[in-house]
Each structure stands twice: as structure tokens, then as C-alpha cells.
Amino acid sequence: MKKPARNLGIIRKIYERFAGNPLYIKKTRKAYIYIMGRVVFLSIVIALFFGALVIIFNLTEDESDFVVSGDFVPASAVRVGKMNHPTIAVSALKDPLKGANAIFDDIKPEHIELSCVRCHVNRGIDLKAPALKKEDGKIGSAYYLGGEKGTVFNATSKAFEQPSPAIIEAGLFSQFLAGEAFFEGNFVVDPHVPFGGLGPTYLKASCISCHPGYGRGRRVDDFSKEFGNGYIAIVHNPDGSIVEGYTPMLQINAVEPFVPYAKGVKITWHDFKDKYGNRYPDGTPYNKGKDTEGSLIYPSADIIEPLLSLPKDYQVSIEASIGIYGTGLLDAISDESIIEEYKRQQSMTGPVKGVHGPWIVEPNGETRLGKFTWHCFRATLENGPGSNGIYNTTNVTRKDRPNLYTTPQWIEKQKELGIDVSALEGMQKEELSKKDYDDFMIWHRGLAVPAARKLERAEVQRGQELFNKLGCVSCHKSEWQTGEYKPMPAYSNQTIRPYTDLLMHDMGEENKGQFRTYRTPPLWGRGLMLKAANHTDMFHDLRARDFEEAILWHFGEAEFSRELFRNLSAEDRDNLIHFLKAL
């Protein structure tokens, strides 16, 4: 019985030692306060540490980010002190995890707003509209798309065929007409008669076949169609390089007894549906009220009975001829001016970043910047589309093109077929004389640009305002100053408005042909296409059947402009097209 009593005594002593001792209680309270104070202090330090990490992460280029919802100000704007930058919804990003570290290219095109275009696309562009009238009341510079020496006031079906004032003032009209005959004439096989020398292979027998009404070719289903068919075909590898043995411009015709590279090209048209079902946000179908309502189309092509072997992964793309009026004025734009515009675009943080053409050594030894053709393969008009086109379309030789437009593989294949090719090997006799060629180039440079029309109308002026605000002007550069131009001195130092930057832009996988990039086509004169060329087909492969479709086929770098156009009211969509038709 003593043990329990002893145990109780021990418990009592423990209680008195710890619970009943006022001194212990006092010490315990001090210890508690001390410990809690240290805990609070350490908590504050830890919170500050992690807060600093968040800030550091947001101010670096690290792709990780804590923001996955809500709105944010881009870290790039914070870094330069632009705290008033509009906030961006995380849902607008292609990858929400990038959060504040996102750059402009990370924003979905449909979420880019007009304020974005103003700073990230159009910065550095003079958007001041040119004068509609001079002080004396006469027509202002806005109407002179080709400058005073390159513009004609003709809006008839002959609008694209006119000589420029520079031609008339220089007394070159007779040479202009002589050169025009070689554009319109049909070449024949016999080299001893006028317009002789066609073949041995060729694409067309005349230039005007590809440029009806002196404009662009029209869309066709049958590649073999001669007149009006503006297509060329390219047989290429997946990287865009030409398949070995084939000419860059496929020739499907041949003079007997020779056999062409192919019997033809098959064109197939396909329906295209965008992610909106070919409808505007207001529910209106694209092309409302037209025979084409609700539809968009695009072509594919293949080669028919190729003569030479092809790799398994070969591809065939078709491209359209480009308008030829005003090309002399484009030739007068200096390389330095084009590079200046290239640098402006490259300095922008937005999606528009045109690429200039390659540097090309010209026949005269000069190194010049490529700016002609859809892919800027040609640098000057003297070595460019018309000069080269009359040669590789017809295979008519001349002093500066003494060899046939053909390949060694084709020559060897003709030999295998038992055909005598001795006359085709080596340099050929001149079939187009230097005088005839010089006249042709005077005509080519001298084709004038039709003046703009109806610019004073309210709907056109509203359309021009939208053209600028939507960023169209960033690629379709409205104004250029020409440099010194020796081939046609009157074209020097002219203010012209072709609405092209002469740079190439990525137009998206939706538009991929030989490449995804295409030179921005000029817009001057486009409003007269129907009257002069009897069609309104546009784009690199003529998939766009009118202005509305041309805008709706803008993907890649230009998709944000497409989205802004889609979100306009029906009235403003029409206003923008009114402006394009006025050019």
C-alpha cells in the first residue's frame, strides 16, 4: 500500500515543479514569445524570398511562368517601363503557360487588336494621306499612283496598255509600239521569218497569252489552254528546289520531232473550310449573295506523263503571271530603300517580318537585290520577268540568251529516243535581234500605271483608314521614292504608290506551294482588272476569285489582318474593298 502513496507523491511534486511554479510559468511564456517571434520573422523572410523569385522569373526570358489564368502586362513591357501597356488575357495565348513571358508571336491572331497593330506592326510608317487636290484646285498627288511621269488617266479596257508620259516626252512612242508587237505577236518555228525561232520546247507561243489585257492571267481548269491561262508549273522537291532535269518553268509543248518534258499538267480544285465554317462572326457567310457564297477554293497540280524520271516525293506547284504595267517604276526603286523597309519590319515585335530577295550578280557585273517574281528571283528588269519571260516562255534566243532554255538531261533523253539533237547543242543563232529586244524593253519599262479613282468618296476614305489600321499597309507599303534610273531618266526621283514592300512574307501552310513565302504583289490598277483583263482572279495561284477572298486567304504573318477584317461590320468590310477597287 505504500507504493501507490509514493507514486502519488511523485506526481504531486512534478505538478508543483512545472504547473504550480510561477517562475517556471514566466520563463515558459518568455520562451513561447521568443519562439513565435522567430517563426513570424522567418515566415516574412521566406515570403519575401519567394516573392522576389516570382518577380525575377517574370523579368527573365525563361519560358516558365506562374500565371496560367487571368490578365497580365507583358514582361517585355515592364522591362522598358511601359506599365500602362494594355493587359493581355492568358486565354489569348497559344501556350497559356508562357504567361507574362509571352512575346507577340505567342498571341493567337484572332486576339490581336488595333492597338497592337499601331505599336507592333505600323510603327515607323507615315500614314498621312496624300493630297486629293493641289492648291490650285487641280487633281492632287493621291491620284498619281505612278508619279507624274508614270501615270495615265485612263479607266477603259485599254487602261493597262498605255505609254507613260515619260515615253511620250522622250520621243520613244514609235519604239514603244514596235516593242509592243513582240508582246502581242505569236512566235513561229521558222527562224527566218518575223517572230521566228519558237522551240524546240516552249510553254506559250506569245506573251499576251499569259497576260490578257496586259494584266494578270486568269484561273483555269485546263493547263493546256493557250490564251488567258496565266499559269506556270514548277516540278520541285519538298524543299522547293527544282527536280533535276526539269526547267524551272515546265515546258509542255515541243516542235516536231522533239518530245516535251511532259504531256501536260492536271489541275484539281478543292474546297476549303476555315475554323469558322467560312462565316463571319455575325453569321454572314463569306461571299454572301454571290454564286460562290460560303465557299473558298484552292488548287493542286500534278504532272501528266513526265518524260524524265521523278523522285517519289516530287511535288508540282502552279503560280500565276504577275501584272506588267508599272514594272519600270518598280525597277527604279533603289536597293537601299528596300533594305531600309526590311530593317524597319525586322525591328518590329509584331508578326510582319518581310524577307528581302537574294543578292544577284547581274550580267553587267553589278550585284543587285532580287525584287521581281513571286520569290524575288530576279533583281532588275533588264534581267527580270519580261526580259527573261519572252525567252523561257518561247525559247527564242538572242544575244544575251544564246543558249536554249533546256537541260542536259532532256537533250540526252531526246538522243535515247533516236532524235537528232546536233542543232540544239551549244550556242544558238540570234533569233530576236538586239534592236527588236531593245524596243521590247522600251515598251516594257514604258507601260504606265492607271490613276486612282473615286478617292474623294466617303466610303473610299473610310476604306483607306481601315487599310492602315488593320495593318494591310505594313506589307502593301503605299509610297516609295524612286532613285536615279538610267534606263528611263524621267522615272528618277518620283513619288509612286504601288502598295507593295517588294519583300517576301510567310503566308502560312494554307498557301504553301513551291515555298510558303511570296513577294507582296502591287495593288495599283487592281480595281480595273475586270474591265481590262475580264477577270478578278488573284493570289499566287489565283485561288482568290475577288478582293474579299484575297483578304480571307491571308494566313501566316498576315493572319491577324484577316481576323481584324473578319470582325469588321459588313459595312466596313465593303468600305475596305471600295478602297482597293479605287486603286
| C-beta separation of 397 from 432 below 8 A | yes
In angstroms, the CA 7 to CA 514 distance is 99
Indicate the helix (H) or strand (E) that contains 469.
Answer: helix 458-469
CATH 2.60.120 is the classification of domain 141-171+448-582: no
Angle separating helix axes 434-446 and 385-394, nearest 10 degrees: 130
In angstroms, the CA 19 to CA 274 distance is 80
Angle separating helix axes 458-469 and 570-582, nearest 10 degrees: 100
Number of helical (H) and strand (E) elements in the chain, helices listed first: 17, 16
In angstroms, the CA 470 to CA 352 distance is 12
SS3 93: strand
Q: pTM for the complete prediction?
A: 0.86
C-alpha cell at 506: 510567310
| C-beta separation of 141 from 452 below 8 A | no
Angle separating helix axes 434-446 and 173-184, nearest 10 degrees: 100
In angstroms, the CA 545 to CA 266 distance is 20
Query: Nearest 5°: phi and psi at 464?
Result: -65, -40
| C-beta separation of 581 from 527 below 8 A | yes
The domain limits of the chain are 2-58, 71-120, 141-171+448-582
In angstroms, the CA 164 to CA 325 distance is 10
SS3 133: strand
Closest among 146, 117, 110 to 491, alpha carbons compared? 146
Cα–Cα–Cα angle for 503, 508, 513, rounded to 5 degrees: 80
| C-beta separation of 419 from 412 below 8 A | no
| C-beta separation of 267 from 220 below 8 A | yes
pLDDT in tens, the chain (583 residues): 444 445 545 545 544 554 445 554 455 556 556 666 666 666 676 666 655 554 544 444 443 343 455 787 788 777 777 767 888 888 888 888 888 888 888 888 888 888 888 888 999 999 998 999 988 889 999 999 999 999 999 999 999 999 999 999 999 999 999 999 999 999 999 999 999 999 999 999 999 998 988 988 899 999 998 888 889 999 999 999 999 999 999 999 999 999 999 999 999 999 999 999 999 999 999 999 999 999 999 999 999 999 999 999 999 999 999 889 999 999 999 999 999 999 999 999 999 999 999 999 999 999 999 999 999 999 999 998 889 989 999 999 999 999 999 999 999 999 999 999 999 989 999 999 999 999 999 999 999 999 999 999 999 999 999 999 999 999 999 999 999 999 999 999 999 999 999 999 999 999 999 999 999 999 999 999 999 999 999 999 999 999 999 999 999 999 999 999 999 999 999 999 999 999 9
Contacting residues for 286 by C-beta, under 8 A, at least 6 apart: 278, 279, 280, 293, 294, 295, 296, 548, 549, 552
